[in-house]
A and B are shown apart, each in its own frame.
Chain A
């Protein structure tokens, strides 16, 4: 079998993206609408557990969720990873953290970023608050990042 030789290697530029739009539906759509008003909402199941970001169904028993509750813009770090040197695609190009954050009074966590701090200030259990993006796009990016709440 004749293999392609390296001289024949063709190159083309490529943008890593979803080349289509998605409609968020009634639950995620409502969550994004409220984010653009700088309000955080979650969905509540029949046991009273609250999911933020708003979940369409209970991840444990698949209960359909439609009751919304407003929550505070503050939460607790459940885990984090510090990125000293951000890489291509990362939205923040200075050292920052990805984190799982449980918003106050909720029973799940939200993946987002923490910025404006040093690595040694971050720990699991640290309290953080939302910093809003000025320009709203009705996406998860309406939260710009989280920052540590000074005690």
Chain B
């Protein structure tokens, strides 16, 4: 296996409503930033892969328009995943491992503001047994939160602590959308959208884009920047049969903790792609993370660009390692209702 390094990462300021700015206008600034960080042009990129969701734009193959943000003439090797851009990163890692490329540009983008995101997400559920009933994203998460509270796995207080910690950490991220701290009274007295979740428990509707460049050891050495290595990456998915899953635990997350051998290293921090407050104490318990800092960037509760937020947890881990006296970080990305699909990435700072 080749060693693969993150060479650059950039995130647009997350906004609640990008208004007239289209997807191309969201993507271009971050692509330019990662080129600036590396000195690369599109000609230095061996493979380009994006992550987005056509349902957000409301048209099939809408992602193709995003390609207008980069130079595609002369023709480039390019791909797209109808998933969070963390999986575009995964595909890029495979391309480099196969020897098809030395470097890869990854970008993810989402403009959720024009639609009703919790119901747009409904269209991604089972089209026979689920989506005709219009279960919104918040209600599906609430089914899991209710079950976990009923089993004594977590409490509303745990959820409030996860929220305040996230908002407090958001000051570390100048791109964060939410910085207003709710009082415990406001939190506990808020009406439930879908019990036991109120609007405070849900990541904000966000517009934005992020980009990343990765490369082989040779490419990283040539740049002469601080080396941040992708030491290990694994992903797994649970059944699409929603009612057959055990929502009181997560086979996927526990299995990934074993695959990535979480017992063999102690991360200095963890960045979780958690779109609801309850998911933070839940995953902390599942992975036995102890009291390690979670979401020092604020995480998705402070700004959650659909289809980029998973890549952001990896990108923010890269930045945390680069800019602090940290040596090892764990990043998580997720997709599907109730943490159906998950990815864990172990990043390490390598000192030559």
Footprint of B on A, CB under 8 Å?
Answer: 1, 3-9, 14, 16, 18, 22, 24, 28, 51, 53, 55, 59-60, 78-85, 87-91, 98-100, 108-113, 119, 124, 139-141
Contacts and interface: CB of A to CB of B under 8 A. Distances in A.
Contacts of A91: 133-134
Contact of A100 (B119, B196, B243): B243
Contacts of A79: 143-144, 146-147, 150, 247
A51 B245 CA distance: 12
Contacts of A113: 133
B137 to A, nearest CB: 11
Interface in B277-334: none
Contact of A88 (B116, B145, B146): B116
A13 B19 CA distance: 16
Q: Closest 4 A-B residue pairs measured CB to CB?
A: A59-B239, A81-B142, A109-B243, A79-B147
Given A82-B194, A108-B241, A111-B130, A16 B116 contact: yes
Nearest to B243: A109
A55 B244 contact: yes
A81 B129 contact: no
Interface in B146-165: 146-147, 150
B122 A1 contact: no
Given A78-B147, A84-B192, A140-B132, A51 B122 contact: no
A81 B146 contact: yes
A124 to B, nearest CB: 5
Nearest to B245: A59
A22 B245 CA distance: 24
Q: What is the predominant secondary structure among interface residues of chain A facing chain B?
A: loop
Query: A4, A51, A90, A111: which has the most chain B beta carbons within 10 Å?
Result: A111
Nearest to A4: B20
B254 to A, nearest CB: 15
Nearest to A102: B243
B70 interface: no
A100 B143 contact: yes
B195 interface: yes
B209 to A, nearest CB: 14
A87 B194 CA distance: 10
